[in-house]
Amino acid sequence: MGHFHSANVFITDIFNVIVLLVGGLFLYSGKLNFGDYSAFIVAIPVFISPIMTLIHFTEQFQNGVTGFERFIEIMDAEPEVDEENAKDLEKVDGEIEFKNVNCSYNDTTEVLKGVSFKIKKGETFALVGSSGGGKTTICHLLPRFYELSSGEILLDGQNIKNATLSSLRQNIGIVQQDVFLFNSSIKDNILYGNPTATDEEVILSAKSAGIHDYIISLENGYDTIVGERGVKLSGGQKQRIGIARVFLKNPPILILDEATSALDNVTEKIVQASLEKLCKGRTTIVVAHRLSTVKNADEIAVVENGFIVEQGNHDELMSKQGVYYRLSEGLNIDGAE
Ligand SMILES: Nc1ncnc2c1ncn2[C@@H]1O[C@H](COP(=O)(O)OP(=O)(O)O)[C@@H](O)[C@H]1O
Ligand SMILES: [Mg+2]
C-alpha cells in the first residue's frame, strides 16, 4: 500500500504540473485563451477525485472481503461436541491403551499408521524419534484434540470416545515446549490449573515446581503481572509456572511434550528436577530429545514416519542395536548427557 499510495500521489501531482506547464506554454503562444486555461485548471480535481474514490473503494472492498472470509472461517468452525450418551469419567486410574490407531489431519495422508501400545498405571512411557514422526500427534490424541480415523484409545479399559471432553481433559495435565501465559498475575496464571484452589494450594504447587523462592523475591510477589505471553519471565521460569499449574491441577495422567527442549542445559537441569517430582505416581507420556530423560522410562517407543518401529526398555533397545541404539548415539553427541 505504501508503494501504491506514493506512486499514486506522485502521478496526480505530476499531472497538475504538466497541465500548468503545457497550458502555460499554449497560453503564451496564443493557442489557448485565458478562459480555457482556467477551465482546465479547475477541471483537474474534477478528473482526479473519482479516480481517488475508486482507489479507496477498491482498498476498502479488499479489507471487507478478507474480514468477511475470517468471519466465515470462525462461523464454519465445528464446535467440539461430546458423543451421544457420553459420560463423565469417574475416578481415573490412568491405564492407557492405544489400539491400532490411525490418524490423519487432512484425510489424505495418514500421520499415524497402526499405532498400538499399552501403559500401565503410574508408568512412564517415552516417545523418541526424528522430528515429524508423529510424537506430538500421539500426545494430542489422548485429550482428543483431534479425532482418530480408525482404531481406539482406551482409558482404564473404556473408549475415551464415550467420555465427556471436559471430564477427560480434567484428568490430563500437559506441559509443552511453549507454555502459554496470560497477561495477568503469576497467581492467576497458576490458578488456571484449578481455579477453585486456595492461596495455600497455589503456594504449595509453586514450591513443588521450584519457583516459589523466585516469585517471593519479586517486588509484588504472586501479584506480579507477567506481561503479554509472559514476556517478563525467562523460558525456564515460564516452564516452571506451567509445571506449577499442573501440580495444582493434580491429574492422574501427564503429557510432557519436549517440555525442556527450548531451555539451556543449566535451566533444563532445574526444570527437569521439578518434572521428575511431577511424574511421581502419575501415568506419564514423555516426548524427549535428551537420552537422560528417556533412559529411566518404563517403556520406550521409537516413532518414525507414523509407525512405532521399536519398543522396549532402555537396556533391551540398546542390546538390540537397532534404531534406538543409533538414535541414542546421536543424542549423546548432542552433548545431552
Ligand atoms: N495441525 C496439523 N495439520 C496438518 N498436519 C500436521 C499438523 N500437525 C502435524 N502435522 C503433520 O503430522 C506429522 C507428524 O507431526 P508431529 O506429530 O508434530 O511430529 P513430531 O512431534 O514427532 O515432530 C508431520 O508430518 C506434520 O507435518
Ligand atoms: Mg513434536
CATH of domain 96-333: 3.40.50.300
Q: Which ligand is nearest to the CA of 111?
A: 1
Per-residue confidence (pLDDT) for residue 249, from 0 to 100? 93
What's residue 83's pLDDT?
81
Using one digit for the tens of pLDDT, what is the confidence trace for 133-180?
999 999 999 999 998 999 999 999 999 999 999 999 999 999 988 889
Ligand number nearest to the C-alpha of 128: 1
pLDDT digits (tens, 9 = 90+) for 32-86: 898 988 988 888 888 888 988 998 899 899 999 999 999 999 999 888 888 888 8
Q: What's the rounded Cα separation, in Å, for the pair 70 and 311?
A: 44
Tell me what the pLDDT averaged over the chain comes to: 89
φ and ψ at 300, to 5 degrees?
A: -125, 135
Contact 132 CB / ligand 1 (< 6 Å): yes
Q: Any idea what the Cα angle at residue 303 is, between residues 124 and 89, rounded to 5°?
A: 45
Q: What is the DSSP letter of 229?
A: G
Q: For the chain, what are the domain ranges?
A: 2-76, 96-333
What spacing in Å lies between the alpha carbon of 306 and ligand 1's midpoint? 10
**Ligand 1 centroid to residue 104 C-alpha, Å:** 9
- Of 112, 135, 137, the one to substitute when testing ligand 1's pocket (max ligand atoms within 8 A of C-beta) is 137
pTM of the full structure: 0.76
Ligand 1 contact, 131 CB (< 6 A): yes
Mean pLDDT computed over 18-45: 90
